[in-house]
Amino acid sequence: MPNKLIDTHCHLDFSDFDHDRGEIITRSKAIGIDAIILPAIARDNWAAVKTLAANHPEIHPAYGLHPCFLDRHMLADLQQLDLWLAENPAIAVGECGLDYRDQDADRELQQQLFSGQLALAEKYGLPIIIHAVKALSDVISLLKKYPKVGGVLHSFSGSIEQAEILYQQGFVFGIGGPVSWENARKIKRMVAQLPLDAIVLESDAPDQPPENYRGQRNQPDWIVDVVEEIARLHSISSSEVAELTTANAERVFNL
Ligand SMILES: [Zn+2]
């Protein structure tokens, strides 16, 4: 693949990559991945994300409080995040959002943390990286209070109607491994209907590997399979997908 690609969501700081992180970064560069966005998940990994980005010019850090790690957050982390963003350059705020999969999760705390991070994205003029699982309608209503904030709906699997609302507010959609899953008919149908200026690529490594690698630890260079599936769904070439998604990511993240 000769074109430049951007992986807008990859957790390369996770320990899953401790034994071969350097190799993975080299391989990603070799297939044309020009930039990798690394969203932090909790206050205790901001420093690791910062260090990794400082050591690799193609890695861009985002800082946030991920809704699936509630036991690692407290409300005061929002003030810490504010201080951190004031001192450390970031490409975005995130990963943040709402995840209602676990019935017992404290939804009110998730919403407070998410609103606080939306306010910080607004304050610092940064895009936001949103994780939304079984919670898109609440995400959409919280976003209404921050009309100036745009960014990425990561691993988007909502309806085309929800996509339309979010697109109007300046959001694009992170599409990764799931679009290549054989049984993912709903996602394929939705991605086929998304406007091409609203799609960005993401590996979400180490999670969500493409169909050909199901069950394995995901890695950024496998994003090529995602490019090919989007090309098939939109009846365009893989290089057009690379070109368009790269331009979209550059626009949203001011790269
Ligand atoms: Zn993530």
Domain span holding position 227: 5-253
Residue 2 reports pLDDT greater than 70: no
* pLDDT top residue among 1 and 181: 181
Percent of the chain with pLDDT over 70: 99
Cα 183 to middle of ligand 1, angstroms? 22
**Local confidence band at 52 (pLDDT 50, 70, 90 cut-offs):** very high
Cα 74 to middle of ligand 1, angstroms? 19
Q: Report the length, in residues, of the chain.
A: 255
Cα 2 to middle of ligand 1, angstroms? 27
State which residues have CB under 5 angstroms from ligand 1, the bound ion.
95
Total count of domains within the chain: 1
pLDDT for residue 1:
52
Q: Residue 187: exposed, middle, or buried by beta-carbon count in 10 A (0-12, 13-18, 19+)?
A: buried
Could you tell me how far CA 30 lies from the centroid of its own chain? 22
Cα 9 to middle of ligand 1, angstroms? 6
Pairing label, strands 171-175, 199-201: parallel
Cα 39 to middle of ligand 1, angstroms? 7
CATH code, domain carrying 63: 3.20.20.140
Cα 225 to middle of ligand 1, angstroms? 19
CA distance 60 to 192: 29
CA distance 189 to 77: 39
Q: Which tens digit of pLDDT belongs to each residue from 159-215?
A: 999 999 999 999 999 999 999 999 999 999 999 999 999 999 999 999 999 999 999
Q: Which tens digit of pLDDT belongs to each residue from 59-111?
A: 999 999 999 999 999 999 999 999 999 999 999 999 999 999 999 999 999 99
Q: Which tens digit of pLDDT belongs to each residue from 9-37?
A: 999 999 999 999 999 999 999 999 999 99
Question: Is the bond preceding residue 95 a cis peptide, omega within 30 degrees?
Answer: yes
**Residue ranges of the alpha helices (H) in the chain?**
21-30, 46-55, 77-87, 107-124, 136-143, 160-168, 185-193, 223-234, 238-253
pLDDT for residue 3:
83
Q: Is the pTM of this model over 0.85?
A: yes
